[in-house]
Amino acid sequence: MRLYPEIKAYVKDDGFFKIPQFWSVHNNQFTKDAYREIVFSLKIDPKAITYNLMFVRDISLGKEAYKIVVKPDMLIIYHSESAGAFYAAKTLKQITKEAPEGLLQCGIIFDEPDLHIRGFMYDISRNKIPQMKTVYQLIDILSDLKYNHLELYVEGFSFEYPSLPNLFKGLTPITVDDYRKLEDYAHDRFIDLVPCHNGLGHMTAWLEKEEYKDLAIIPEGMFMWGAHRAPSTINPLDPRSLELVKQYYGDAMLHSRSAYFHMNLDEPYEIGHGKTEAEAKKTSVGQIYLDYLLKLYQFVKSHGRTPLVWGDVLNHYPETLKKLPKDMVFVDWGYDMHYPFKETLERLKSYKVPFMAAPGTSSWNSVSGRTEDMFENIHQACFHTKHNHGQGILLTDWGDAGHIQQLPISFPGIVYAALESWRTHARNRQSTSEYMNKYLFMDQEQLVGDLLLDMGRYNHFQTEYTHNGTAIMNVLWNAGYALSTERPIETIEKQLAGHIYASLEVSEPLLAEINSFYDRLNASNIQSTDKLYAEELKLSIDLLKAMVLTTAITGPHPIPKKKVWIKEAVELWENTLELYEKIWRKRNRAGGMTQSMAALKDIYEITKLYARSFGIELRHQRS
């Protein structure tokens, strides 16, 4: 019998318990939520006068621990707190599905998690703000996997701050009422919905507003990563910056009952330049950052919350770590397979800094995921957090570059992080595929799990490692600039000259592999009640193929081959953009869709220019 996550111990005894058609349950004052979970998933006989399932409180057990004693005639669930009873109910739901021939061998199941906090952070601020039903569904998925912490990442205006009502005209943010409903729903499933609002870097949306422009460290922006970058960091030396952030932090905390508040404060790239240059020379970038952080720390503490803060800046200034308050949680993030969690978490332990590790789903900047990065990154985070006695993990799922990845692309990371954070086990990689087949897609052919993992391995064609993404994204990042020039085709070919996916030796076998993804998807039998899953998987394959085709046609290939690819690319982009918009409207709120699709439409325009340059007649063209 395979259970997900792996249980800690199962001591078997003689005999078997036959799983009944109807359950009769003896409850106690701590099992209301566990009983509701059982009612949702099993058949209950409310009129029974004898019991085949009993909940018994045992205060010797940990808060989230439980023990299931399997006897020939009944099951007894021991727990200390409500959370333990709830997780036992989740396990019971699986037992009824996994037990061979409906027989459960007698014995004792004991279980408790390796890590105290098992968290997930979902980006709702890079264009894609989910509909309420999407978040409810996500909470259900997390609950089944025994997560207990959820953050909806906010930068800019994806959360409607009540004290700043004039900022949201024409937008579709999460409202206070929305948030409270989500919080109640999560709370009933033992998930803490933690406010997560950025307040230093990632402030571009604020700095675009006329009333906040002069808060930027460099109002004209800066040149970075080979291109001009709009202002993104507010000036921490300006008291007005602090007052603004306190204002909307206060709004968020006022409408949350979580004991935590995530301040973020990551990637303030401009500190040390512009308006902060003189002070940085006098003290240091690390000291400017620390002074600002501590002011916000005091504000959050004054509201009775434990602050969380990203660790990227202070990791670069380790001398500041000794100055951190011991009642603040340091969240150490890194998303590549080689991120040094071993070293960074050992250092935090040595300084007695409370910490969480933040690996990633590796879904963003990839179209269909980065499977090997995801596995190794999450494993290292969970293993070294446990080894160094950290508080837990916060799995991140970002929306960089338009948030073009579809929801199921994040499932492998969500499942694997749940399995590893509850119990690190060598079998968890195999179990990730199994769980997706059985409990997410309900694929009768048991194919989609491995397909999804393999879709995230297309980057094995690359000869060089790409940090925080895959090389296929280059066409998305460069198409818009190419269209702004007088000779777009010459520009895009110059930008992608020598690109690995533009070479015939790579593009042909890669396209053949992508075509095999369609065959495997068609051979599956997805029975999930969410009918969008199959369409989202197809769209992911379509997007990947369309981007590979567009990259390939920029290479110096024979004209007949090039013409075939150009025609296929144009037609594929037409259909893909139509499906992209259709799925978006069913899964997410309208606000942000146009911005998300803009770069994809730019790639489509590039393919049409190629078609015209080669005299290829175009059929219906999407505007």
Specify the CATH number for the domain of residue 212: 3.20.20.80
Query: Greatest CA span in the chain, whole angstroms?
Result: 83
pLDDT band at 324 (very low <50, low <70, confident <90, very high): very high
Q: Residues 290-315: what's their mean pLDDT?
A: 97
Q: Looking at residue 224, what is its pLDDT? A: 83
Place of tokens 């699986």: 94
CATH code for the domain in which residue 29 is found: 3.30.379.10
**How far apart are the C-alpha atoms of 5 and 550, rounded to whole Å?**
41
Shared domain check, 465 and 557: yes
Long-range contacts of 449-453 (CB under 8 A, 24+ apart): 451/517, 451/520, 451/521, 451/524, 451/537, 452/369, 452/408, 452/409, 452/411, 452/412, 452/537, 453/371, 453/412
DSSP H/E element including 161: none
In the predicted structure, residue 52 carries a pLDDT above the cut 90? yes
Which residue, 191, 83, 14, 37, is CA-closest to 53? 37
Mean pLDDT over 53-80 rounds to: 97
Residue 323: pLDDT above 80? Answer: yes
* Residue 3 forms part of a structural domain: no
The DSSP H or E segment spanning 358 is: strand 355-358
Could you give the C-alpha distances from 324 to 99, 203, 265, 294, 386, in angstroms and in order?
50, 24, 14, 8, 22
**DSSP state for residue 324 in the 8-state scheme:** S
Taking the C-alpha atoms of residue 294 and residue 314, their distance in angstroms, rounded to an integer, is 13
Count the domains in the chain: 3
The answer to whether residues 426 and 515 belong to one domain is no
Torsion of CA 416, 421, 427, 431, to 10 degrees: -40
Give tens-digit pLDDT for 414-424. 999 999 999 99
Residue 225 confidence (pLDDT): 75
What is the reported pLDDT for 500? 95
Q: Which two tokens stand for residue 471?
A: 């090389």
Whether 390 is in a domain gets the answer: no
Residue 48 is predicted with a pLDDT of 83
CA distance 208 to 230: 9
CA distances from 217 to 231, 235, 488 (A): 8, 5, 34
**Of the candidates 368, 294, 384, 293, the residue with the CA atom closest to the CA atom of residue 332:** 384
Asked if 102 and 559 count as a contact pair (C-beta separation under 8 A), the reply is: no
Statement: residue 49 has pLDDT above 90:
no
Same domain, 144 and 272: yes
228: number of Cβ within 10 Å: 10
Cβ pair 225, 196 in contact under 8 A: no
Q: Using DSSP, state whether 464 is helix, strand or coil.
A: coil
* Cβ pair 264, 199 in contact under 8 A: yes
Please check the confidence at residue 619 and state whether its pLDDT lies above 80.
Answer: no
Whether residue 504 is found in the same domain as residue 537 = yes
Q: Write the burial class of residue 56 (CB in 10 Å: 0-12 exposed, 13-18 middle, 19+ buried).
A: middle
Residues 160 and 292 placed together within one structural domain of the fold: yes
CA distances (Å), origin 345, targets 335, 336, 381, 393:
15, 16, 9, 12
Full 3-state SS string of 550-609: HHHCCCCCCHHHHHHHHHHHHHHHHHHHHHHHHHHHHHECCCCHHHHHHHHHHHHHHHHH
| CB under 8 A, 24+ apart: contacts of 176-184 | 176/255, 178/132, 179/255, 179/256, 180/255, 181/132, 182/132, 182/135, 182/136, 182/139, 182/152, 183/256, 183/257, 183/258
pLDDT value, residue 621: 64
Residues 425 and 504 in one domain: no
Q: Is residue 546 part of a domain?
A: yes
Question: Is the C-alpha dihedral spanning 196, 200, 206, 211 positive or negative?
Answer: positive
Confidence band of 483 (pLDDT split at 50, 70, 90): very high
Give DSSP secondary structure letters for 169-224: TT--PBPHHHHHHHHHHHHTTT-EEEEEE--SSS-HHHHTSGGGGGGBSSTT-EEE
Q: What is the pLDDT of residue 47?
A: 81
Kindly state whether residues 126 and 224 are assigned to the same domain. yes
Same domain, 297 and 250: yes
Residue 361 lies in a domain: no
Residues 6 or more apart in contact with residue 430 via CB below 8 angstroms: none
Query: In the predicted model, what is the mean pLDDT of the chain?
Result: 96
Instruction: Identify the domain boundary among 62, 94, 111.
Output: 111
Q: H or E segment at 33?
A: helix 32-41
Q: Within a domain: residue 356?
A: no
Rounded (10°) angle between helices 82-98 and 132-144: 80
C-alpha distance from residue 603 to each of 184, 322, 478, 566 (Å): 42, 49, 9, 12
Q: Please count the other Cβ atoms lying within 10 Å of the Cβ belonging to residue 48.
A: 14
One domain, residues 141 and 102? no
Given 68, 87, 111, which residue is the final one in a domain? 111
Residue 228 phi, psi (nearest 5): -75, 135
Query: Distance between CA atoms of 550 and 569, rounded to whole angstroms?
Result: 6
Confidence of residue 622 (pLDDT cuts 50, 70, 90): low
Q: How far apart are CA 30 and CA 280, in angstroms?
A: 54
Cβ-Cβ contacts under 8 Å for 401 (sequence gap 6 or more):
126, 364, 365, 469, 473, 476, 477, 599
Per DSSP, the three-state class of 510 is: helix
230-271 pLDDT tens trace: 999 999 999 999 999 999 999 999 999 999 999 999 999 999
SS3 162: coil
pTM of the model: 0.97
pLDDT of 427 higher than 80: yes
Write out the DSSP string of 392-442: EEEEEE--TTT--S-GGGGHHHHHHHHHHHH---TTHHHHHHHHIIIIIS-
Q: How does pLDDT run across 551-600, given as a tens digit for each residue?
A: 999 999 999 999 999 999 999 999 999 999 999 999 999 999 999 999 99
**216 and 295, same domain (yes or no):** yes
Write out the residue range of the structural domain in which residue 101 sits: 9-111
- The label of the residue with tokens 């969240």 reads 331
Question: Which one of 57, 80, 111 terminates a domain?
Answer: 111
pLDDT of res. 467: 94
How many residues are given for the chain?
623
Burial bucket for residue 173 (CB in 10 Å: 0-12, 13-18, 19+): buried
Can you give the pLDDT at residue 282? 97
pLDDT in tens, 167-211: 999 899 999 999 999 999 999 999 999 999 999 999 999 999 999
Q: Is residue 286 included in any domain, yes or no?
A: yes
Q: Is residue 328 part of a domain?
A: no
Instruction: Mark whether 90 and 122 lie in a shared domain.
Output: no
Q: 3-state class of 288 per DSSP? A: helix
Confidence class of residue 99 from pLDDT cuts 50, 70 and 90? confident
Average of per-residue pLDDT across 123-138: 97
pLDDT of 610 over the 70 cut = yes
577 and 507, same domain (yes or no): yes
Q: Is residue 412 part of a domain?
A: yes
